[in-house]
Amino acid sequence: MYRQIWINSSQWDFQRILWRSKPTEPLRHYRLKTVTYGTRSAPFLAIRCLHYISEEIEQSEPEIAHNIKTKFFMDDYLDGADSLEELQLKQSQLEELLMSHGFQLRKWCSNSQELMSSLHNDLDKHYCINLSEDDTIKALGITWNPKTDDLMVNVHEYSHREVSKRMILADLHTFWDPIGLLSPVFIRGRMFLQELWQSNVTWDDVLPLKLNKKWNAYRKQLQVLNNMKISRRVWFGNLQTAELHGFCDASEKAFGACIYIRSWNSEGKYISHLVCAKGRVAPLQNLTLPRLELKAAVVLIELMSQLITSLRFETIDINYWTDSEIVLNWIHGGAQNWKTYVANRVAKIREGSTPGQWRYVKSAENPADILSRGISPHAFQTCDQWWFGPAWLKEEINDWPAWTPNINSNLERKKTSYSL
C-alpha cells in the first residue's frame, strides 16, 4: 500500500538513502519518492489518503465512503454481505473506485467459493489467495480458515523453565485477542502478573520455585487452545429481528463483560452466540465487591457502545444483565441518591442505557462470571455457557429471569439534611 502513495517532490530530500549490493561496490545515492516502510509517518499517511478518498466521494457514494473509512484496518479490508450478489457488487465497486485513485487491491480472499471463482487476473498471480481445505490466513492478526469459516487460536510453545516478571509480561503481550473471545483464559495470566506485583518480585529476578511452577503449569495448558475452532458467523437472518444481550460480573480478582447476539436460524429457532468480551483485573486498592460489580457494569456500557457504533446496530433491541441486586438498585435509584463514587458511574450507565433495560440473572447462569473468575484452558474448550450464553436465551421472553427493583437500599446512599 505504501508504495502506491507518491510523496510531494518537495519532500524527496527527506528520504535520501545510500545503497550498495556488495561491500566492494561504490555507494549509490537515491531519493525515495513514495511512502516508505519503517518511517513514523507512514501509517498515518496511508490511512489519511484513504480518508481523503472517502471524503471526496461521500456525497455521490455514501455507502462506499463509509466502508472505506471504517472497514480498512491499515492495508487490510474486511467486509461481508447477506447475499452473493451484494458481495460481488461491493467487491467490484470498491476495486474500481480505489483503482481510479491509484490504489490497486490484491490478495482477495473469501469464504464464498462462488465469489473466488468469479475473481481472476491473468496478469497478477497475487490477485487472489487460493487456499486448500486446511490452509489459513491472518485477518487482523487472527488466524482464519476461509474454507470452514472458523477462527483459530495460535499459541506458541514456551520453553523457558526459569522465568522473570519481565519475561512473563512480554509473553502475555504475544497473545492477540482483540475482541476478547479468549478472555476467561488469558485473564488468569494477568491475575498471575498482578500476584507477582503483590509479591514484590523484581523485574529480572528468577521467580521463587512455587510461583515458577504455577506459571509454567498455566503456560503449558495454553497449548490446548491450538485445538480450538471458533465459528466466525455469529448470527443468522435479518438484524431487524435480532437482539443484543450484555452480561457483566466481578470477583475480588477481576471484572468484565461479554455480549451475545440472539437471532432466528433457518429452522425458526432462537440461537445466541458470543460477539465480544472485555476483562480487567481488579485494582490493587481495596474496593468493595458491589463497587467492582458497578465497574463491570460500566465496562459493559462502554463495550456495547463500541459494538453498536462499529457494526451500525441502530435499531436493535438491547438487554443488560447483572447478578448484583445492589447494582440494579443503584441504577434504578438514579445518580442523585448516591455517594460520589457510585453516583458518577450510575450517571455514565444511565447515559448509555435506561433502567428498564437492566435485568437480573443468577450467578450460576451469568457467563460473565466465567470471565471474572477465569477458567482453565481444558474446561474452556467445552464451556457452552461462555460461547452461547445461558440456556434460556434460546427460549421465549416469558422464560427469562424476572426481578423487581428495591430502591430502598441504604448502601452508598448520600446523606441529606433538611433545615427550616
Listed in sequence order, the residues at least 6 apart from 319 whose beta carbon sits closer than 8 Å to its beta carbon are 243, 244, 245, 246, 357, 359
Query: Could you read off the pLDDT tens digit of each residue along the chain, which spans 420 residues?
Result: 899 999 999 999 999 999 999 999 999 999 999 999 989 999 999 999 999 999 999 999 999 999 999 999 888 999 998 889 999 999 999 999 999 999 999 999 999 999 998 887 777 888 898 888 788 998 877 899 999 999 999 898 888 888 999 999 999 999 989 999 999 999 999 999 999 999 989 999 999 999 999 999 999 999 999 999 999 988 766 666 789 999 999 999 999 999 999 988 777 788 999 999 999 999 988 899 999 999 999 999 999 999 998 888 777 899 999 999 999 999 998 888 888 999 999 999 999 999 999 999 999 999 999 999 999 999 999 999 999 999 999 999 998 998 877 666 778 887 766 566
The DSSP 8-state label assigned to residue 318 in this structure reads E
The residues pairing with 245 across neighbouring beta strands, listed in sequence order, are 260, 319
Grouping H, G, I as helix, E, B as strand and the rest as coil, residue 5 is coil
What single-letter amino acid sits at 95? E
d(CA 276, CA 296): 15
Query: Which stretches of 319-358 are DSSP H helices?
Result: 325-333, 340-352
Helix axes 340-352, 289-311, angle to 10 degrees: 20
Domain residue ranges in the chain: 2-110, 129-227, 230-399
pTM of the model: 0.89
Residues shown for the chain: 420
CB 260 within 8 A of CB 393: yes
The DSSP result for 367-413, as a single string, is THHHHHH---HHHHTT-HHHHH--GGGGS-GGGS------TT--TTB
CATH architecture of 230-399: 2-Layer Sandwich (3.30)
Region of 374 (left: φ > 0; alpha: ψ -120 to 50; beta: rest) is: left
Checking DSSP bridges between strand 358-360 and strand 317-322, what pairing results, if any?
parallel
